[in-house]
Structure formats: structure tokens, C-alpha cells
């Protein structure tokens, strides 16, 4: 018996029909655009049930159990193959759905009975038994709409049992909630067995299947995975579900399948014959889901979709009807533009230069200082440009890299079988492929790396097509040096190759025969990794990663150097291999001495939260001698403000210097570092701040992306550091000299100055300031006679994206403005200040205050430390900044940055003892 079901769209709407109409007329014969696909809920099923046999059907949600029963019962017709059932089929699939609510229970019994093929006389004869079993009593004459769900269920059950079927289909899955049903199921099944009736039952209750069935069938994604004695099948099934994480995996898969079904488009691609279920088909299913999400998003923007949409809308509301002509004209032009773009993409290749401009610089100095001065301001709210100005990048990335690059560019992703179509419709300025294991949510799994088992070379065609169309292609191997060989074959077809390990560059050059090979280390993405603090840090060290009991001997030695002393400080370990199958587990088991510290394993999202929960993290390096390659976690930790104690690594020393990282060579050294970082608050704060400053200013994905573009020869929209409007309130008779000195010393040069004064304009003062500052524009706003007027003048005249307020009584370090700009790169920071800062105490010593506010959102901070993005500044706020010591917001809107580079103290005091309040990145 073989059959299959095709799931169709549940509802055909006019909108879809219209869109399909356009779709069909345009892309006929284009195999790349499969907008409609089919979903086989069941396929290739061969099942013979003997008379008198009880067969149990098990499988995860969405595996096709109910569909199988419905097909067997003849409710669904098979699209292919044949179903033959001898005898009358009784069905209990859902409870009482088939009742007519306006008819009484009795009438419904007649209706159901006669639909099932019973003669009126027969129903008459059984009516009493049905009423008795359903326990409805006199309610049997009341309309069914007055019944409770339980009553309906009982009635349905009674009918199904009493129509005396030859074959009974029982879907226990849908009756889960009904206790009465559960209690009765066993006895009824027993009776049917005695009477030698045939039963097919779908259930999640393994006990029920084991006890009552003669045979069990395990369905998975519409095919029979295993069939045989119930005990064996149930055992095998349970084993898999547990290995997959039990309930979680079931739930996840159920959700995926549901998603597939809910797609308004029909879905295929689940057709699998006898092929065993493995990771690959899992990936394929996910790719299908991904594809439809993508397809839907993409289609929302397509001209033909919008055309259909406009027509449908015009039919549904008078307002839209009036707008229709305008929309049609607009769409016409959009269509013309798109067509031009398509033509341009399909045009023959332009002759290409040998090496992209700027590449040389990058090659010689993998991290040339000019790359590190700052990121693109676009990620922050003060200068988010329209997404259209970000370069569109076609990419094959693993999930994590995708999350990191997504804020930097307009990412387009695709699958091996639809890249041509996607690229044709969207276009791209750069092709970026990374050494992905599960590229684009698994769609490119086994297709980037070269394995013994060959999956497909679509990526070669993809790169060739881009090259033909003048789109530069770059490959980033983030797995160097360990997996150089796996990716070298694919890397060869790209214009430029980036590697995390600079030592691999000569190997690439030799293997590829060209010189476009550069280093591109990992980085941090401020959107994901930032110091914004939500909970307290524990005075404990933490280690996250795996322990290799059988490999990497050096690494194991190094780990002891780190972990042994840390145990005495209350170490927490998050073991990446925790909960792995026992077979593999042995190779990764932490030694006995560390096991009490193991806290389980964390998913990546929780990991980032854990970064901020500990004072110190420990890091061990597998690759020691690479000048650029080390764990990406180190960047992420530092960006989160967590200092790292690490075993030696050339890369860390080279890229990060001594900023927030502590290189240990022995257990004694580790112990000293731990002692210092866990118990000396000042030392910890400084290490944390240095790490933040170093990474956020030099090692973000924005910087990396800029480097990629430069090497690929793509002109980025010229990255501009935002202009800062510095506001200063000049007290009567006050000397502007200190302000001038402070501003002249700033490392950040793009600023303008606005001086507000209460006294009559002291022109000489302003001129002196102008002279001292050289080129920077200086504006003067006298606040007499009317302060409001001067503010209005400021709001009209100020050009800066950031307003930074300086006040007398504060000293500012030379990185003060640079820090302000840097902290605006964190997500959703529109005001910052230093609730935590250095002040002079009674004895004139400079001490930190408000440490509990550091990296948190606060209500108030001194006006002299406030910086605000221009759109958030109101005239009232400006007035407060200029006239009050403390600036207060109604809610916690101010991000309190680290304590450094600003000091609230008289000039003499501030510079006493070598200015401990300043902070500059080291080496």
C-alpha cells in the first residue's frame, strides 16, 4: 500500500492568485524560481495490517501520524498509490468536531451513524447503549452547542465504539486532554482485541503502545523509519528523542514542520525514500524553512507582488482605490529601475585590474593604524544612514558571523539552488564567503569545506558568475591554521582571500599563485558585545570551553596553569561538551580535580550574559604562534569589560597588547593576577576600561568590514567621524584658557565650540580661544538679554551630531571626546555621562566615586560629563546643562560610562600624583 498526501494551501486568496499570475507570466521556464513547491506529508509508505491486528503508530509531532490515519480511513484521498481497506472503518480522530451544533445529541447520533453507513433501525437499537456510555442522560435531547467539550468527546467516543466497525482508527494524540478517554481507551482496545477487530492507533503514550499493540510503526517526516515489535521500536524511538534533547528537540521539530505547513505556499523537498534520517536531511528541512522565509520577504518587495497588492487593496478600500493610479505610476518606475539594474548585472564583464587598490597597505600591516581610528558611526542612533547607502553583500556565513556582519552591511543570503535567482533580483556589490560549516543556516553544509563525501560545487559557479559580472569576491577562512586544507580548493576561485592566521598567508600565496591574501582577525560586534551592565559581577573567575583529554597536550598543560590556581578562587567552568553522548564524552572529560567546578554548558546567547557575570575570565590558546589568530572570545570578553587571564599567544600580544589581558606563564603568576583582579577594585576597573577602549576603538566588525571592502576595491561611502558640538558656559570674568588647553589637547579633532556667556561678549576672550584652537569653528552665544534666543541660535547653528558639554571645575583628558564618540557606538545609547568618576576628596586626593553606576543606565550625572546625540537634546535640557551642576532625566536614560578621562577637581589637584584618572590605551 503506497500513498502520499499533498498538502495544499489552506486558503486561496485573491492576492496570491494575482501574484501567481504575474509570476507565471514572467518567469516561465526559469527553474531557479520555484515559488510553489509541494509538501509530502506522507511518502513511500508500505503498510499491510492483518485482520485482528493492533498496530501502533508513533513519531514526533508533525511526522504524519494523523495524516496516515486519515488516509487509511479514506478521509483524505491518496495523491499517488492505493489504499485498500476491507470492512467498515470507525474513526476517532478528533472529538465531536463533526457534530452539527444546532441539532440535538440524539439527532447527531443519527446523522453520524447514517453517514457511517448504519441503517436507521440499527441506530435505534444501539441508541440506548450510546446514551448510557456517553453518560449524557436527558441531555441527549439538548442541542449539541450546549454541551461541554467533555460531553461532546464522550458522545463521539460512544458513537465510534457502537457503530461496530471492522477497523478502528484511533488518534490518541488529539484526545490528550480528555481524562475520561484515557481511562476508557485501554478497556475498549481490550474488547476489540477479543473480538478480533483491527485497530490502528496513533499515540504519544509509549506505555499504551507497548501494552496493547502487536506491532509498532515509527513515522518520521512522512516515511516509515522503523517497523516491528512494539518494544524494539519504542526503545529505538525513545533513544533518538533523548539523544536529540528529548522534549526540546521534539518541540523544535514540531515547530519547524508546523511552519512548513503554515506556509501559504506548498512545500516539497521532504521526499526521502529509504534514506536514513541524519543531520543532512535535518539541515535540508531547515533550509526549506529558511528559503520560504527569504522568499516571502523578498517577494514583499518585488514589483509583481506590489502590483498585485495594490490591485487587491484598491478593491478593498476606497482610499486605496484613489491611490491606485499613483501607485501604478510609482511601480512602473520602480520596475524600470530594477530592470536597468538587472541588465547591468547581466552585462558582460568589465576588464578587471590586477590588485584592488589599498590592498598593499593592508597586506604589509595587517592592522594598519588607519583602520583603527573608529568605526562607522552608522551603527549608532546618532547617524544611522538609510539602509540603501550600506553596501549590499551577498554572503555565505555561519550563523554567528552573520549576526556580526549584519549591522555593517546589507546582507543577502541564499541557498545552493537559488543563488542565481536571488542575486539576479537583488544584486550585490561584494560576495563574501566564509569557511562556513553550516553556511546560511545549513543550506551550504558540506559545500564549502571539502570532504571525502562530495556534496556539490555550487560555490565555484557562484564565484565565477560574480567575477563575470564584475562583483568582487572574497573568501574568509576563519578556521586557519587548523583547516587550511579543507578550504583551499574553494578559496582558489576567489579574488581575494582573508585568513585569521597571518602565518598562513605564504601558504595561500604559494597554493593560489596570486598575492591577494590578507589577514583578517576576529573582532567584537558592539551590538552583541558591549559593557552595558545589568547584574552584579561575581568575585569569581570563570572558564568556558572544552577540555581535550586525548589531544593537544600543550593546551592541557596550559590549562592546568590557569585552572589549578583558579580553583582556590571559586572557579566556575562551563564545559562546551557537557551533555554530549557518552561515547564522545570520554575524550573531553575534565579531570577529577576540576569536576566540582563544572556548571554545565551554555548556549551562545547565555554565554554573552555570562561574560558580564564574572570579574575575570580565563582563556587558553590552542594556537600559540600565530600573530593574528586567537579565540574570538577574547575580543568579545574585552568588549564586555571583562579582563582576561590568558596563556601566552603571539596574537594577543600583537593585537591587544596589555589592555585588559594578562598573560600568565606559571601557576604563581596566575594566582597573582587573580588576587589582583578579584580583590583590587581599582586595578580591575582599569583593566576592564582598557579592554573596552582597545577593542571598541580598534577591533570591531565595522573596522573589519571596512578592511574587507578596501581590499576588494569597493569604495565605501566615505566614513566620517561624527562632528561634535562642544558647549561651554563661560562664567562672568572667567578665563577661557583652561577650556582652550583642554580642547587643543584632544585626540579627536572633529569638533566645533559653542560658548555661552552671561556677561556682555568679551570679544578678546573669544578671539583668544579661536587663535588657540586653530581651525575649529568657535561660536559665541550671549545669553543676555534673552537666554532662549541664544539657545535658538545654537539649535539653528550647531552642526554636530553629538553635543558634548564641558564645565568649569572639571578636567578632561585628551581622549575625552574620542571616548564620547566611542560609547555612542553601543546600541541604544543616546545620552552618556559619568555618574561614576574621579573627584577630589577632603584631603585633596583624587578618588573614584559612584563605582556602582559604572556601565549602567542612570537617572542623573554631572552636567560637565554629559554628551547627548543631537536629536535627544531639547532647549530645556541645554539650559540645565549650562546652568546646573547635575543633569537629571525622568527615567534611566543616561549611560554611565567608565570613570576615566574626566575628573571633578581643581586644576592643581587633578594633576597631582601623575593623574590616575586618565586612561590611554597601551602599546
Partner 1 sequence: MATIMRSIAELVSRWETIRFLVTSNLKAGHREKVLGHLWNLLDPLLFVAVYYVVFGLLFKQAERGQGTFVVYLAVGVLAWRFFDATVSQATLCIRANRGLIHEIRFPKAVFPVSVSLSRLYDFLWGLAVLLGIVLCTGFPLTAHVLWLLPLLVLNLVFAMGIAFFAAYLGAFFADTTNVAGVLLRLWMYASPTFYYARGEHALIPERFQGIYMMNPMACVLEGYRDALLWGRAPDPAMLLYMLAVSVTVLLAGFAVFTFGEGRFAKYI
Q: Which residues bind partner 1 (CB under 8 A)?
A: 5-8, 10-12, 14, 70, 73-78, 89, 91, 93-94, 97-100, 102-103, 107, 110-112, 114-117, 119-120
To the nearest whole angstrom, how small is the minimum distance from the Cβ of residue 152 to partner 1?
A: 11
- Residue 110 or 437 with smaller CB distance to partner 1: 110
Residue 304 near residue 77 (C-beta atoms within 8 A): no
Q: Which is nearer to partner 1, 185 or 413 (CB)?
A: 185
Residue 128: all three cell numbers together: 440506548
Q: Residue 324 has which C-alpha cell?
A: 491606485
Strands (E), 166-252: 167-171, 198-202, 215-220, 223-228
- Nearest approach, Cβ of 257 to partner 1 (angstroms)? 16
Question: Which residue's CB is nearer to partner 1, number 3 or number 684?
Answer: 3
CB of 305 to partner 1, least distance (A): 20
Residue whose C-alpha is closest to residue 574's, from 537, 551, 555, 547: 547
Smallest separation, CB 83 to partner 1 (Å) = 10
Residues 6+ apart with CB under 8 A from 741: 772
For partner 1, give the closer residue by CB, 12 or 482: 12
CA separation for the pair 646, 665 (Å, rounded):
9
87: left (phi over 0), alpha (psi -120 to 50) or beta: left
239: which 3 cell numbers? 533513544
Min dist CB 53 to partner 1, Å, is 21
Nearer to partner 1, 222 or 439 (CB): 222
Least distance from C-beta 107 to partner 1, angstroms? Answer: 6
Task: Give me 577's grid cell.
Answer: 561538551
CA triple 72-2-213, angle to 5 deg = 50
**Which is nearer to partner 1, 161 or 726 (by Cβ)?**
161
905: its cell numbers: 577637581
C-beta of residue 136 within 8 angstroms of C-beta of residue 143: no
Q: At what angle do helices 419-426 and 318-346 cross, to 10 degrees?
A: 110
Q: Which is nearer to partner 1, 79 or 457 (CB)?
A: 79
> Of 6 and 514, which has the nearer Cβ to partner 1?
6
What is the rounded CA–CA span in Å between residue 700 and residue 60? 43
Beta bridge partners of 54: 199
Minimum CB distance to partner 1 smaller for 91 or for 307: 91
Residue nearer to partner 1 on the CB measure, 103 or 406: 103
State in angstroms the smallest separation of the CB of 146 from partner 1: 13
Q: Tell me how far, at minimum, the Cβ of 238 lies from partner 1, in Å.
A: 31
Rounded (to 5) percent helix, strand, coil in the chain: 45, 15, 40
Q: Report the alpha-carbon distance of residue 675 to residue 146 in Å, rounded.
A: 73
Rounded to the nearest whole angstrom, what is the least distance from the CB of residue 102 to partner 1 in the complex? 5
Nearer to partner 1, 106 or 390 (CB): 106
CB of 495 to partner 1, least distance (A): 50
Phi-psi group of 147: left, alpha or beta (phi > 0 → left; psi -120 to 50 → alpha; rest → beta): beta
Please, what is the minimum distance in Å from the beta carbon of residue 48 to partner 1? 20
Strand ranges in 716-855 using DSSP code E only, listed in sequence order: 724-730, 751-757, 778-782, 802-806, 811-812, 831-833, 837-840, 846-849
Least distance to partner 1, CB of residue 224, Å: 22
Element spanning 574, H or E: strand 572-575
426 CB burial (10 A radius; 0-12, 13-18, 19+): middle
* Residues written for the chain: 923
Q: Count CB-CB contacts under 10 A for residue 621.
A: 21
- Cβ proximity to partner 1: between 107 and 734 the closer is 107
Coil/strand/helix, residue 397: coil
Sole residue written with cell 578678546: 764
Question: Which residues are 840's β-sheet partners?
Answer: 846
Amino acid at each position: 500500500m503506497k500513498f502520499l498526501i499533498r498538502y495544499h494551501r489552506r486558503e486561496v486568496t485573491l492576492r496570491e492568485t494575482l501574484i501567481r499570475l504575474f509570476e507565471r507570466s514572467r518567469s516561465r521556464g526559469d527553474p531557479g524560481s520555484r515559488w510553489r513547491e509541494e509538501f509530502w506529508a506522507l511518502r513511500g509508505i508500505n503498510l499491510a495490517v492483518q485482520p485482528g491486528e493492533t498496530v501502533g503508530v508513533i513519531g514526533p509531532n508533525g511526522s504524519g501520524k494523523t495524516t496516515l490515519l486519515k488516509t487509511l480511513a479514506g478521509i483524505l484521498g491518496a495523491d499517488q498509490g492505493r489504499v485498500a481497506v476491507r470492512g467498515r472503518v470507525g474513526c476517532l480522530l478528533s472529538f465531536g468536531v463533526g457534530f452539527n451544533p444546532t441539532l440535538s445529541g440524539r439527532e447527531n447520533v443519527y446523522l453520524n451513524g447514517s453517514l457511517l453507513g448504519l441503517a436507521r433501525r440499527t441506530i435505534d437499537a444501539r441508541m440506548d447503549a450510546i446514551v448510557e456510555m456517553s453518560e449524557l442522560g436527558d441531555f441527549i435531547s439538548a442541542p449539541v452547542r450546549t454541551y461541554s467539550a467533555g460531553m461532546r468527546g464522550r458522545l463521539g467516543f460512544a458513537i465510534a465504539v457502537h457503530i461496530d466497525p471492522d477497523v478502528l482508527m484511533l488518534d490518541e494524540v488529539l484526545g490528550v486532554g480528555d481524562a475520561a478517554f484515557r481511562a476508557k481507551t485501554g478497556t475498549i482496545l481490550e474488547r476489540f482485541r477479543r473480538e478480533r477487530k483491527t485497530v490502528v492507533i496513533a499515540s504519544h503514550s509509549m506505555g499504551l503502545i507497548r501494552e496493547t499493540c502487536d506491532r509498532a510503526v515509527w513515522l518520521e517526516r512522512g516515511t516509515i523509519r522503523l517497523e516491528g515489535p512494539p518494544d524494539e521500536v519504542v526503545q529505538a524511538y525513545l533513544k533518538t528523542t533523548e539523544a536529540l534533547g528529548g522534549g526540546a528537540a521534539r518541540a523544535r521539530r514540531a515547530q519547524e514542520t508546523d511552519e512548513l505547513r503554515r506556509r501559504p505556499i506548498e512545500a516539497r523537498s521532504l521526499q526521502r525514500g529509504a534514506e536514513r534520517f541524519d543531520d543532512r536531511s535535518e539541515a535540508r528541512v531547515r533550509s526549506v524553512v529558511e528559503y520560504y522565509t527569504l522568499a516571502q520577504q523578498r517577494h514583499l518587495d518585488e514589483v509583481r507582488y506590489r502590483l498585485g497588492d495594490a490591485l487587491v487593496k484598491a478593491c478593498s478600500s476606497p482610499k486605496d482605490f484613489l491611490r491606485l493610479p499613483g501607485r501604478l505610476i510609482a511601480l512602473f518606475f520602480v520596475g524600470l529601475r530594477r530592470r536597468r539594474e538587472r541588465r547591468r548585472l547581466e552585462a558582460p564583464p568589465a576588464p578587471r585590474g590586477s590588485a584592488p587598490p589599498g590592498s598593499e597597505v593592508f597586506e604589509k600591516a595587517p592592522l594598519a593604524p588607519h583602520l583603527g581610528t573608529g568605526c562607522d558611526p552608522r551603527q549608532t542612533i546618532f547617524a544611522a544612514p538609510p539602509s540603501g547607502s550600506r553596501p549590499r553583500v551577498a554572503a555565505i556565513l555561519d550563523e554567528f558571523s552573520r549576526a556580526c556582519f549584519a549591522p555593517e552591511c546589507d546582507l543577502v543570503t541564499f541557498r545552493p539552488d537559488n543563488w542565481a535567482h536571488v542575486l539576479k533580483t537583488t544584486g550585490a556589490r561584494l560576495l563574501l564567503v566564509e569557511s562556513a560549516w553550516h553556511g546560511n543556516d545549513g543550506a551550504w553544509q558540506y559545500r564549502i569545506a571539502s570532504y571525502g563525501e562530495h556534496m556539490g560545487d555550487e560555490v565555484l559557479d557562484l564565484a565565477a558568475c560574480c567575477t563575470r559580472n564584475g562583483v568582487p569576491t572574497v573568501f574568509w577562512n576563519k578556521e586557519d591554521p587548523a583547516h587550511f586544507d579543507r578550504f583551499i580548493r574553494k578559496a582558489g576561485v576567489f579574488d581575494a582571500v582573508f585568513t585569521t592566521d597571518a602565518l598562513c598567508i605564504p601558504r595561500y600565496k604559494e597554493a593560489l599563485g596570486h598575492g591577494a591574501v590578507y589577514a583578517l582577525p576576529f573582532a567584537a560586534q558592539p551590538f552583541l558585545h558591549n559593557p552595558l551592565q545589568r547584574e552584579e559581577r561575581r568575585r569569581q573567575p570563570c572558564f568556558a570551553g572544552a577540555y581535550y583529554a586525548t589531544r593537544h597536550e600543550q593546551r592541557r598543560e596550559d590549562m592546568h596553569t590557569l585552572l589549578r590556581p583558579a580553583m582556590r578562587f571559586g572557579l566556575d567552568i562551563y564545559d562546551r561538551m557537557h551533555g554530549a553522548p557518552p561515547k564522545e564524552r570520554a575524550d573531553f572529560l575534565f579531570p577529577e580535580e576540576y569536576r566540582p567546578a563544572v556548571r554545565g554548558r551554555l548556549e551562545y546567547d547565555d554565554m554573552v550574559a555570562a561574560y558580564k557575570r564574572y570579574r575575570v575570565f580565563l582563556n587558553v590558546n590552542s594556537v600559540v604562534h600565530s600573530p593574528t589568530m586567537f579565540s574570538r572570545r577574547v575580543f568579545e570578553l574585552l568588549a564586555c569589560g571583562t579582563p582576561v587571564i590568558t596563556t601566552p599567544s603571539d596574537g594577543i600580544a600583537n593585537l591587544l597588547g596589555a589592555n585588559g589581558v594578562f598573560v600568565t606563564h606559571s601557576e604563581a603568576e596566575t594566582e597573582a593576577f587573580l588576587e589582583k583582579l578579584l580583590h583590587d577594585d581599582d586595578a580591575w576597573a582599569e583593566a576592564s576600561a582598557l579592554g573596552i577602549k582597545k577593542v571598541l576603538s580598534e577591533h570591531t566588525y565595522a573596522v573589519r568590514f571596512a578592511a574587507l571592502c578596501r581590499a576588494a576595491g569597493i569604495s565605501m561611502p566615505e566614513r566620517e567621524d561624527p562632528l561634535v558640538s562642544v558647549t561651554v558656559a563661560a562664567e562672568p570674568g572667567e578665563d577661557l584658557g583652561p577650556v582652550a588647553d583642554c580642547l587643543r589637547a584632544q585626540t579627536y579633532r572633529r569638533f566645533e565650540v559653542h560658548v555661552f556667556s552671561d556677561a556682555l561678549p568679551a570679544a578678546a576672550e573669544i578671539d583668544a580661544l579661536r587663535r588657540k584652537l586653530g581651525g575649529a569653528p568657535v561660536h559665541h552665544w550671549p545669553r543676555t538679554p534673552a537666554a532662549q534666543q541664544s539657545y535658538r541660535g545654537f539649535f539653528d547653528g550647531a552642526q554636530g551630531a553629538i553635543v558634548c558639554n564641558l564645565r568649569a571645575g572639571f578636567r578632561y583628558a585628551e581622549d575625552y571626546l574620542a571616548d564620547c564618540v566611542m560609547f555612542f557606538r553601543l546600541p541604544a545609547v543616546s545620552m552618556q555621562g559619568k555618574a561614576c568618576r574621579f573627584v577630589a576628596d577632603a584631603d585633596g586626593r583624587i578618588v573614584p566615586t559612584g563605582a556602582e553606576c559604572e556601565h549602567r543606565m542612570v537617572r542623573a550625572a554631572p552636567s560637565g560629563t554629559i554628551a547627548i546625540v543631537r536629536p535627544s537634546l531639547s532647549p530645556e535640557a541645554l539650559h540645565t546643562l549650562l546652568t546646573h551642576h547635575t543633569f537629571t532625566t525622568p527615567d534611566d536614560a543616561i549611560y554611565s560610562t567608565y570613570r576615566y578621562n574626566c575628573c571633578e577637581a581643581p586644576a592643581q589637584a587633578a594633576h597631582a600624583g601623575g593623574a590616575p584618572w586618565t586612561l590611554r590605551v597601551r602599546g
